[in-house]
Amino acid sequence: MENFRNILEGDDVQVFDGAVGTMLYAKGVYINRSYDELNLTNPELVRNVHEEYMRAGADIIETNTFGATAHKLQQYGLEGSLRLINIAAARIAREAAGERCYVAGAVGPLGLRIEPYGPTSFDEAKEMFKDQIAALLEGGVDLFVLETFSDISQLRQAILAVQELCDLPIVAQMTIMPDGNTTFGTTPEVFTTRLDEWGADVIGLNCGVGPAIVLNAIEKMRVVTNKKLSAQPNAGLPRDVQGRQFYMCSPEYMAKFAKRLIQAGAKFIGGCCGTTPAHIKLIADAVQAASPRKQRIVIKEAAAARVEELTPADIQVVPPEERSLWSRKITNGEFVTSVEVLPPKGCDPMKTLDSIRLLKDAGVDGVNIPDGPRAQTRMGAQATAVLVEREIGIEAVLHYCCRDRNLLGMMSDILGAAALGIRNLLLITGDPPKMGPYPDATAVFDIDSIGLTNMVNKLNHGLDLGNNPIGQPTAFCIGVGCNPGAINLDEEIKRFEWKVEAGAQYAITQPVFDTDQLREFLERIEHVRVPIVAGIWPLVSFRNAEFLHNEVPGVRVTPSIMERMRIASEKSKEAARDEGLKIARESLLEVRDLIQGVQVSAPFGNVRYALEVFDVLDEFAARKELNVTV
């Protein structure tokens, strides 16, 4: 497997496993036994637990050695077996993991007080840790997880022990109380700063409390360190039910907080006491939705190669230039033109289809069909796209968003679109329902547009999400959205890199009003450049400009354009319309040599108005000279 330090240098979110002890207890191992001894007496049981977590989606599994230090083993008369127990634990985990997961050597507190709170010296503590760590190294771990420490001084000795024996990565995790501090009163800000100084590669929290309190602490920790953060909370606090301890947080609840922890900055997510494979499965799904790519490689060819390695031998992947006319022009570097037309509001498509006939007559390459734009209720985009291609004979570019369907529903829709002859897609995450007229409607968002791009790329290679053959592959031209005016441009570029890696063939921007902004964006994505189609929106009034600037996410209308529209609108509606058209033409001309296509929006469904933007393009000017009616 790839060296784990490379994972640390990347930006992907990794999933730890859950509570090995919880699972062993659930399988009938009494709590008065040494769970660490099971590595010698019942290795198959331990291996089964590791495999359950791996099947649930864990990227990293921890050895069954939390209590395998001399003092804790002494309570069971097992201190003489310390080395054998730890070596066996590492080898069991390694055999289970194979090349699929990383193995972390789990090291817990010594179970005794060290100076200045107890008789054990720092050096003695360090040597105790070294005994366990040396055995785990012999067993073949990839990294160390030093976890559930309340005393930061003891954790420092564990860090030193690892550093003196090897250079493997260290995940150092404290545990906190419901008040957010350790039992010694140390705040998250203080112990995070210290662990950073002492050389921990990842700093985190585990055990002690549930996800809500851990989230609050992670938010504080993020402020004081640039190191990667980890979070492995309990499944809530245990409750006594008829003499047994139960952790009450559901898998769904843990998954919801996993997303929040990622947003707060955590890059390693898992669970501690009470966290089962069912919890880890939903946590892994949440991680996939929030950070769909693993082991990110920016170069598109490298990503494609990984998919191609899995492609069934009898599958012939359709070359991009043969997927559609739109795809052929994109692939061959030709300039493409399109107009965005909203689906009908009702079930009668005739008015919409009549307007789209104008586009075909004018020679436009494609018609973009948005999928529930701004969370409005309209005819389904897929049904509209099929009607457009069958009734009009112009290619549709179907927008498909992740908001309304779960993973299985999206898979079914995409396969259905392929069967119906749709070939051009624009994959987007989608606007949340609260933006629309039905704010109580729910959203799904199983995955985002990056994950969806991965899914469609797999289908193009004859594979479903589980890498199972589907027979004849799909033949989609895969497009994605991008926003040159994003508030967090670094994050937008990172997501764009992931989209290209996932298989995007081209991208369509949000409406461009600030051409300097577009130039900067294009410069910053040069290393992952795919054909860019610029979005152009001809404004119709000052109020229209205000709405786009203030209420449409990702759209920025520059102050100079806003002022031009204000002055024109004060004159008349016609003057505002003419000024908006002039601005759109100017924007198109300014970026014409930087882009490989243009998508013009049709304000309020006015296709004729959108077509007038194209007059500045040579090919459309020539058509008018030849009296081709548009």
267-282 residue pLDDT tens: 999 999 889 999 999 9
Q: Is 175 helix (H, G, I), strand (E, B) or coil?
A: coil
Band of pLDDT at residue 294, cut at 50, 70 and 90: very low
Band of pLDDT at residue 185, cut at 50, 70 and 90: confident
What is the structure's pLDDT at 248?
58
Q: What is the pTM of this model?
A: 0.54
What is the structure's pLDDT at 285?
87
Rounded Cα–Cα distance for residues 111 and 131 (Å)? 15
pLDDT surpasses 50 at 532: yes
CB contact at 8 A, 268 and 238: no
What is the structure's pLDDT at 306?
57
pLDDT surpasses 70 at 198: yes
pLDDT surpasses 60 at 23: yes
CB contact at 8 A, 270 and 279: no
pLDDT surpasses 70 at 376: no
What is the structure's pLDDT at 312?
80
Task: Select the more confidently predicted residue: 533 or 310.
Answer: 533
Q: How many residues does the chain have?
A: 630
For residue 392, give the DSSP letter: I
What is the structure's pLDDT at 113?
87
Lowest mean pLDDT among 220-229, 284-293, 382-391, 499-508: 284-293
What is the structure's pLDDT at 101?
95
Give the C-alpha distances (Å, rounded to integers) separating 113 from 60, 83, 122, 159, 180. Answer: 30, 23, 10, 17, 22
* pLDDT one-digit tens code per residue, 610-627: 899 998 887 665 655 555
Q: Is 122 exposed, middle or buried (0-12, 13-18, 19+ CB in 10 A)?
A: middle
Phi, psi of 480 (to 5 degrees): -135, 165
Rounded Cα–Cα distance for residues 421 and 39 (Å)? 56
Contacts of 317 (CB under 8 A, 6+ apart): 308, 311, 460, 461, 462, 473
Rounded Cα–Cα distance for residues 167 and 184 (Å)? 30
Rounded Cα–Cα distance for residues 77 and 253 (Å)? 40
What is the structure's pLDDT at 629?
45
Lowest mean pLDDT among 487-496, 498-507, 558-567: 487-496
Band of pLDDT at residue 384, cut at 50, 70 and 90: very high
Rounded Cα–Cα distance for residues 595 and 598 (Å)? 8
What is the structure's pLDDT at 419?
96
Task: Give me the mean pLDDT over the 293-310 stretch.
Answer: 45
Angle between helices 251-264 and 277-290 (to 10 degrees): 40
Lowest mean pLDDT among 18-22, 156-160, 227-231, 435-439: 435-439
* pLDDT one-digit tens code per residue, 549-577: 876 666 788 999 999 999 999 999 999 99
What is the structure's pLDDT at 29?
86
pLDDT surpasses 70 at 242: no
Determine what percent of the chain is predicted with pLDDT higher than 70: 89
Band of pLDDT at residue 606, cut at 50, 70 and 90: confident
What is the structure's pLDDT at 300?
36
Sheet-wide strand order for 202-206: 14-15, 266-269, 228-232, 202-206, 170-174, 143-149, 102-107, 60-62
What is the structure's pLDDT at 556?
82
Most distant CA pair in the chain, distance:
97
Lowest mean pLDDT among 245-259, 409-423, 461-475, 496-510: 245-259
Residues facing residue 29 across a β-bridge: none
pLDDT surpasses 60 at 86: yes
Lowest mean pLDDT among 76-90, 170-184, 247-261, 315-329: 247-261
State the distance between the two ends of the chain, measured CA to CA, in whole angstroms: 59
Contacts of 124 (CB under 8 A, 6+ apart): 114
The angle subtended at Cα 368 by Cα 343 and Cα 623, nearest 5°, is 115
CB contact at 8 A, 584 and 612: no
Task: Select the more confidently predicted residue: 450 or 426.
Answer: 426
Q: Where are the domains of the chain?
A: 4-290, 300-625
Write down the architecture of domain 300-625 according to CATH.
Alpha-Beta Barrel (3.20)
Rounded Cα–Cα distance for residues 200 and 194 (Å)? 9
The CA dihedral of 290, 292, 295, 301, to the nearest 10 degrees, is -140
Class of domain 4-290 (CATH, top level): alpha beta
Phi, psi of 511 (to 5 degrees): -50, 130
Rounded Cα–Cα distance for residues 438 and 375 (Å)? 8
The answer to whether 4-290 and 300-625 have equal CATH topology is yes
* Rg of the chain over all Cα atoms, to the nearest angstrom: 29
Rounded Cα–Cα distance for residues 436 and 4 (Å)? 44
Task: Give me the mean pLDDT over the 48-57 stretch.
Answer: 94
What is the structure's pLDDT at 569?
95
The angle subtended at Cα 21 by Cα 20 and Cα 27, nearest 5°, is 95
The angle subtended at Cα 123 by Cα 118 and Cα 126, nearest 5°, is 95
Sign, CA dihedral 234-239-244-248, equals negative
Contacts of 516 (CB under 8 A, 6+ apart): none
- Which of 582, 40, 605, 168 minimizes the C-alpha distance to 355? 605
E strands, 390-433, are: 395-401, 424-428
The CA dihedral of 571, 574, 578, 584, to the nearest 10 degrees, is 100
Q: Which residues of 567-595 are buried (b: 16+ CB within 10 A; e: fewer)?
A: ebbeeeeeebbebbbebbbebbeebeeeb
CB contact at 8 A, 261 and 214: yes
* DSSP string across 334-391: --EEEEE-PPPSSS--HHHHHHHHHHHHHT-SEEEE-SSGGG---S-HHHHHHHIIII
Band of pLDDT at residue 481, cut at 50, 70 and 90: very high
Checking phi first, is residue 100 left (phi over 0); if not, alpha (psi -120 to 50) or beta? alpha
Mean pLDDT estimate for the chain: 87
Rounded Cα–Cα distance for residues 70 and 111 (Å)? 9
Query: How distant is the alpha carbon of residue 299 from its chain centre?
Result: 18
pLDDT surpasses 70 at 309: no
* pLDDT one-digit tens code per residue, 433-449: 544 433 445 556 667 78
Look up residue 89 and give its amino acid: A
